[in-house]
Amino acid sequence: MIKLPYYPGCTLKTSAKNFEISAIESAKILDIELIELPRWNCCGTVFSLTSDDLIHHIAPIRNLIRVQEMNGNGIVKDEHRLVTLCSMCYNTLKRANLRVKENPDDFKKINDLMYLEEDYNGNVEVIHFLELLKKTGFEKVKEKVKKPLKNLKIAPYYGCMLLRPKEVGIDDPEDPTIQAELLESLGAEVIDNPYKKVCCGSYQTVQDKYVVSELTYDILTHAQREGAFAITTSCPLCAFNLDNRQKEVKEKHQDFKQIPVFYFTQLMAIAFGLGEKYCSFDLNYINPRPLLIDKKLL
């Protein structure tokens, strides 16, 4: 079992517990133990673009120091990768890491401000769980499948934070395939469509839910037109906008048919034969169980 530092983020401890638990249990099947970062703090949520706004990079860098500490006190051995699940956390942590490495002056200032902590040494590598799976090998993933997701037509949705900007993207920003590769290895039928990388509306959801529900309508109906039965995502905010906002979509578009939205890890858990025990489908807004029962996966 390889042990890796893992950063959950606030949402995975609250409204996206279904993402966390399905990921941790699926990882075990692949001999990966995701160990929660001790004393982690909020990632900072949004990467600050203002050039002199260093205070907002303290939160992400402090988390990277915790990875050093895990190595220091032997929780992990010589392991400098930090695994993330939430696309937003991934993006913020990775960009902050890049930013300090590219700006030695800022790096020093941030370390100075955190004088109670050991200095960050710049050696931590922030990765997304999907990258880890790719590195582990989708062949290996395939070997562990007990219940292939046969006849399950899935449209993977990527959103922005996994792909942009290019320096931190885990895949081709114009035509990402990493989720498709994973889903194929799980035995699913992948539905490709150009809306897979269209922004879900992000935090507009707080300001005006109907701005978001129109985007949701476009993204979902395009996938449905191509034949998708469900969507997968790796971002709790995308999931909220694509899943929960279907309520508002339905208000405006009577013809709209609701469609389940999974975290890709929930489908891993099902395909690995873990059943729904680790899926917490009660947290999905549109109940995915009828679909899975229909496809004899539950």
How are beta strands 189-190 and 230-233 bridged, if at all? unpaired
Q: Which of 56, 144, 253, 289 binds another protein (CB under 8 A)?
A: 56
Q: Which of 5, 23, 25, 62 binds another protein (CB under 8 A)?
A: 62
Helix (H, G, I), strand (E, B) or coil at 261: strand
- Min separation Cβ 19 and another protein, Å: 14
Contact yes or no for 75/38 (Cβ under 8 A): yes
Q: What token pair was written down for 61?
A: 């860098």
The residue (of 57 and 196) whose beta carbon lies closer to another protein is: 57
Phi, psi angle pair for 47, to nearest 5°: -70, 125
Q: Which of 46, 55, 211, 293 binds another protein (CB under 8 A)?
A: 55
Within 113-142, which residues bind another protein (CB under 8 A)?
A: 113-114, 116
Distance separating alpha carbons of residues 156 and 104, to the nearest angstrom: 38
Q: What token pair was written down for 205?
A: 């959801």
x/- binding map, residues 11-50, to another protein, per CB under 8 A?
A: --xx------------------------xxxx-x------
Phi, psi angle pair for 233, to nearest 5°: -150, 170
Stretch that binds another protein, among 8-16, 83-91, 167-175, 255-263 (CB under 8 A): 8-16
x/- binding map, residues 80-119, to another protein, per CB under 8 A?
A: ---------------------------------xx-x---
The residue (of 9 and 176) whose beta carbon lies closer to another protein is: 9
* Closest to 237 (Cα-Cα) out of 43, 6, 31: 43
Question: What percent of the residues of the chain are helix, what percent strand, and what percent coil, each to the nearest 5?
Answer: 45, 10, 40
Distances (CA, A) of 161 to 47, 136, 171, 243, 251: 11, 22, 11, 18, 28
- Min separation Cβ 54 and another protein, Å: 10
Q: What token pair was written down for 31?
A: 């001999």
The residue (of 152 and 237) whose beta carbon lies closer to another protein is: 237
- Min separation Cβ 53 and another protein, Å: 10
The residue (of 62 and 295) whose beta carbon lies closer to another protein is: 62
The residue (of 40 and 157) whose beta carbon lies closer to another protein is: 40
* Type of residue at 140: K
Residue 236 touching another protein (CB under 8 A): no
- Min separation Cβ 11 and another protein, Å: 9
Distance separating alpha carbons of residues 43 and 33, to the nearest angstrom: 21
Distances (CA, A) of 140 to 23, 62, 143, 169, 198: 16, 34, 5, 24, 31
The residue (of 51 and 254) whose beta carbon lies closer to another protein is: 51
**Interface ranges with another protein (CB under 8 A):** 10, 13-14, 39-42, 44, 55-56, 58-59, 62, 113-114, 116
